[in-house]
Copies of this chain bind each other. A is one copy, B any other.
Amino acid sequence: MALRSLSKLKLNKSLVRCFSAEPKLVSLDVNEKTGFATLNMQRPPVNSLNLELLTEITAALTEAEKIKCRGMVLTSKNDGVFSAGLDIMEMYNPEPERMKKFWMALQDAWIKLYGTSYPTVAVINGHSPAGGCLLALSCEYRVIVQNYGIGLNETQLGIVAPTWFISSMKNVIGQRKSEIALTTGHIHSADEALQIGLVDEVVADKEEAIARGEAFLKRFAKIPPLARSLTKKFLRQATIDDLVNNREADLNRFVDLALLPEVQKSLGAYIQALKKKSSKSN
């Protein structure tokens, strides 16, 4: 991925694309006036999180830090889906080495996103199940467009959200609501999500969502960035360390669980259901 630092560019246009023109799985746009970056996920058709997309997300988050952006909006170029979550093809009948790399890339992306020094907003302009919900939960603020759903629905697929998915949710809605949300694997409507605090705002469309997300970022306009980022670190570091200090155990637990015959069977049934649904709608 060819990233060019905003700081090295001399452009008159206020909107700078930090990536080269080649098609990529993400794009990072920076508004020079506001200093806000927009990280667009754009892997067709539904931003399923595979090894390559996760690797690009981490690189873009790092780039946004290098160019000292004042805040970031995480959103989707594919209207209707924020992210469909982990790419099931990385887990179903997997090639072992690739599956490990995939999981480590997911760990990397979460560690980076959960701990960014700059403020982050998820503009959820489409459905946001499982890994998609995790990305949204890892931002500091969530604005969802009405009619879309969000939740950690892993149990519905017969799989289990890792401990750090669970912690990310607990840190937003608390233990009690997380227990119900996670065991039932419920996908919350936008209004349900607002009611339990899983999102902060429900709006009519993406344009309004971006405006509201940027309004959140603007709350930090006069806050010295060092003080802000250290405060965030104090609040989030323990959760991050829980994973950083247990990456290998977490990896092994994922691999062992994913390879259980009943889990493979659940995933296979799910893929069949998706194919059937897809062929019907064609």
Contacts and interface: CB of A to CB of B under 8 A. Distances in A.
Interface of A: 119, 140-141, 154-163, 166, 170-176, 178-180, 182-186, 197, 219-220, 222-224, 226-228, 230-232, 234-236, 257, 260, 262-263, 266
A255 to B, nearest CB: 15
B231 A140 contact: no
A271 B184 CA distance: 44
Nearest to A197: B176
Contacts of A226: 158, 260, 262
Contact of A175 (B222, B235, B262): B235
Q: Which of A154, A157, A176, A186: most chain B CB closer than 10 A? A: A176
Contact of A183 (B180, B232, B262): B232
B266 A224 contact: yes
A199 to B, nearest CB: 12
Contact of A231 (B141, B161, B171): B161
A223 B163 contact: no
Nearest to A154: B227
Contact of A262 (B140, B224, B262): B224
Given A161-B231, A183-B232, 19 more contacts: A119-B183, A154-B227, A155-B227, A158-B224, A160-B234, A162-B234, A166-B235, A173-B176, A175-B235, A179-B235, A182-B235, A183-B228, A183-B235, A185-B227, A186-B219, A224-B266, A226-B260, A226-B262, A227-B263
19 contacts: A140-B179, A140-B180, A140-B183, A154-B227, A154-B231, A155-B224, A158-B227, A159-B227, A163-B234, A171-B179, A172-B175, A172-B176, A179-B236, A182-B231, A184-B219, A185-B227, A186-B219, A224-B266, A226-B262
* Residue of A227, A228, A234 most packed against chain B (CB within 10 A): A227
Contact of A155 (B186, B231, B260): B231
Nearest to A163: B234
Contacts of A173: 176
Contacts of A166: 231, 234-235
A79 to B, nearest CB: 28
